[in-house]
A and B are shown apart, each in its own frame.
Chain A
Amino acid sequence: MELVIALSIGILTASGVWLILRSRTFQVIIGLSLISYAVNLFIFSMGRLRSNAAPIYDEGTDISTLADPIPQSLVLTAIVIGFAMTALFLVVLLANRGLTGTDHVDGQER
């Protein structure tokens, strides 16, 4: 499982970085989305990967059988914020397209 998670974070990040260095605004926003997926997976994995472990404490449960709840709440916050920011970026992207007539990040074709 560790290998699969590590590989997917790596591939998502690499694709994202490549895309945000491209010149079209749409590629940039997809790149930023991929990076935020990679970051979300990374946050999740920082609580150590475990299967079949709930993050909910019940009276008398052995704590060592539980998953760490903090990265799960952090990732929830990060998803919400990332989603809102991507939506906002999309609006600015469309405004830029409308004002300049091109989807180049600098507003003009080279």
Chain B
Amino acid sequence: MEHLAILPIVVPLFAGALLALIDDRHHTLKLAINIAATVVLFAISLWLLADVHEGVARTTTYNLGNWPVPYGIVLVVDPLSAVMVALTSILALGAVLFSAARWHRAGQHFNSLFQLLLMGLSGAFLTGDLFNLFVFFEVLLAASYGLALHASGRSRVKASLHYIAVNLASSSLFLIGATAIYGVAGTLNMADLAVRIPQLSPSDLTLFQTGAAVLGVAFLVKAGMWPLGMWLPATYSAAAPPVAAMFAILSKLGVYVILRLSALFFDESGTSANFGDLVLQYGGIATIVFGTVGVLASQGVARIACFSVLVSSGTTLAVIGYGDAGATAGALYYLVSSTLALACLFLLIELMERGRSAGDDVLAITLEAYGDDEDLMHEQEVGVATPGAFATLGAAFICCAILIAGMPPLSGFLGKFAIISAMLDLGAEGGVPAGAWALIGVLIVSGLAATVALMRHGINTFWVSLDGVLPAIRSVEAAAIVLLLGLGILMTVFAQPVMAYMSMAADTVYARGEYLATVLSNASLGGQP
């Protein structure tokens, strides 16, 4: 179907517009529309994925309004963008199911903002044009500002204030970078830019690289690279749980754009090969270190999840910095698995904290440090069975922790293993570079830190005397968690085909010949414009 590529943008756009028109009193109807639109988006993204996987041509384009490239706007579906759209729609399905229990009623226009966020995300993953990337970024940011404020409250407003200020400033950088590139190269189409960059004169090339560096800073702010990611833990931990679960992919969008643009603009044969690679390699390692320290220092599980988001972005950024297709394939596998696990953890945290008072985490850690009085009471508790719901919650938490920490046997381990094995392969000719050793080291240490921190909180939450109110879990909430965790487990079982797909995606991105040829072949769609 030739119009398939535009559907991930059009469906959420119309659903969001329709939802904005319906009064908030009809919240069941709005929720039903939201879930239906998300399911449709999920189906479309699976269709895209299947087309890319089985089709003859892996890369397809869609010219909006049938204007010829590079004058018109073009959407590009290739293995990488298809998998990112699919990941978005899966997270959206989990988040919207979870919100069905109660969160969708906590404030106004949750449903329409949610759909507009999906529209911005799909658009940003599919667009083949720098300025439309900016427009879709702004669409998703505007929706994310509204969602970060969802359910209001002092801490959310305060965190959103910082979040909006940081993102407005980084949007200015985005514009400066994109237009500086236009001023030098005279085009905004990514494929056209990739062709024109080698033809630039040396003085223009300097200007172009300056523009690209400014643009890169804007994406690194989104990805949360140290020291640009200080806003991230506060915003993500303050956001409502289904929103935080969706935000888990926002930082990955920054990573995606960095990967896409650096593969297109700075390929190995070009005049500016390896531009910015060192920044990504060492910045990524610094982000992992910062995230690891944050994970160990956090007193609440929500903060641990936020710093784990930083660790996950840092890992993917550092690996992308090596520009090696094998390592990037591992990083993509790790990215999908860790995003699913982090989104699931954000949802689990809310269930775990129900029925606990706000200061419990801090209190538990203080007790650990100053001696625990609970030892005296242990004898009375022998024989009390853990309630089923609570045990299930505990099992889900353990799965999440294993996925995030990258321990065997789940997919987090396989992702890290693929990265480390590709890093060691880098040294096939003349020894593994020192930076790669450093990356392998911090990767392993960050896994250990996540294990220690998450297990400590697991013990404090699940192995305590159950005198509080037991958390009541609705079936939709359980379904959301089962969906996200189940996918993480499926990725482990079907590791071979998934990994093969990721290798194909990474190869297609770095080979870039197919992308350029397909976009620039100027093929208009059949039929009348």
Contact = CB atoms under 8 A, between A and B. Distances in A.
Contacts of B138: 81, 85
B165 A95 contact: no
B154 A99 contact: yes
Contact of B154 (A88, A93, A100): A100
Main secondary structure of the interface of A (DSSP, over half): helix
A20 B165 contact: yes
Contacts of B182: 46, 70-71, 74
Interface residues of B, number: 27
B162 A88 contact: no
Contacts of B145: 88, 92
Contacts of B180: 42, 46
A42 to B, nearest CB: 6
Main secondary structure of the interface of B (DSSP, over half): helix
A95 B157 contact: yes
A70 B189 CA distance: 12
A71 to B, nearest CB: 7
A100 B156 CA distance: 12
Interface string B158-197: 1011101100110110011001101100001000000000
A74 B131 contact: yes
Interface of A: 20, 25, 28, 32, 35-36, 39, 42-43, 45-48, 70-71, 74, 77-78, 81-82, 84-86, 88-89, 92-93, 95-96, 99-100, 105-107
B528 to A, nearest CB: 24
A16 to B, nearest CB: 9
Given A46-B179, A71-B179, A92-B149, A85 B171 contact: yes
A25 B165 CA distance: 10
Given A74-B131, A92-B145, A43 B158 contact: no
B135 interface: yes
A105 B190 CA distance: 38
B169 A32 contact: yes
Contact of A39 (B141, B157, B162, B175): B175
Contacts of A46: 179-180, 182-183
Contacts of B176: 39, 42
Interface of B: 131, 135, 138, 141-142, 145, 149, 152, 154, 157-158, 160-162, 164-165, 168-169, 171-172, 175-176, 179-180, 182-183, 188
Given A42-B179, A71-B182, A77-B135, A36 B172 contact: yes
18 contacts: A36-B168, A43-B175, A46-B179, A47-B183, A71-B179, A74-B182, A77-B131, A77-B135, A82-B171, A84-B142, A85-B138, A85-B164, A86-B168, A88-B164, A95-B152, A105-B162, A105-B165, A107-B154
Contacts of A93: 161
Given A20-B169, A32-B169, A74-B131, A96 B157 contact: yes
Nearest to B146: A88
Given A20-B165, A96-B158, 7 more contacts: A35-B172, A39-B176, A45-B183, A85-B171, A89-B161, A93-B161, A96-B157
Given A39-B176, A46-B179, A32 B157 contact: no
B45 to A, nearest CB: 27
Given A89-B165, A92-B157, A43 B142 contact: no
Contacts of B131: 74, 77
Q: Which of B152, B154, B183 counts the most A-chain CB atoms under 10 A from its CB?
A: B183
A35 B168 CA distance: 10
Given A85-B138, A92-B145, A32 B165 contact: yes
Contacts of A77: 131, 135
B380 to A, nearest CB: 44
A64 B341 CA distance: 56
Contacts of A47: 183
Contacts of A81: 135, 138, 171
Contact of B158 (A85, A89, A106): A106
A86 B149 CA distance: 16
A42 B175 CA distance: 9
A70 B130 CA distance: 13
B168 A32 contact: yes
A92 B149 CA distance: 9
Q: Which of A25, A45, A85 counts the most B-chain CB atoms under 10 A from its CB?
A: A85
A38 to B, nearest CB: 8
A6 to B, nearest CB: 13
B172 A39 contact: yes
Given A70-B182, A100-B154, A107-B154, A85 B161 contact: no
Q: Which of B135, B141, B157, B182 counts the most A-chain CB atoms under 10 A from its CB?
A: B157
A28 B141 CA distance: 19
A8 to B, nearest CB: 15
Q: Which of B135, B141, B165 counts the most A-chain CB atoms under 10 A from its CB?
A: B165
Contacts of A100: 154, 158
B169 A107 contact: no
Given A46-B180, A77-B135, A85-B138, A92 B172 contact: no
Nearest to B138: A81
A82 B138 CA distance: 9
A87 to B, nearest CB: 11
Contacts of A88: 142, 145, 164
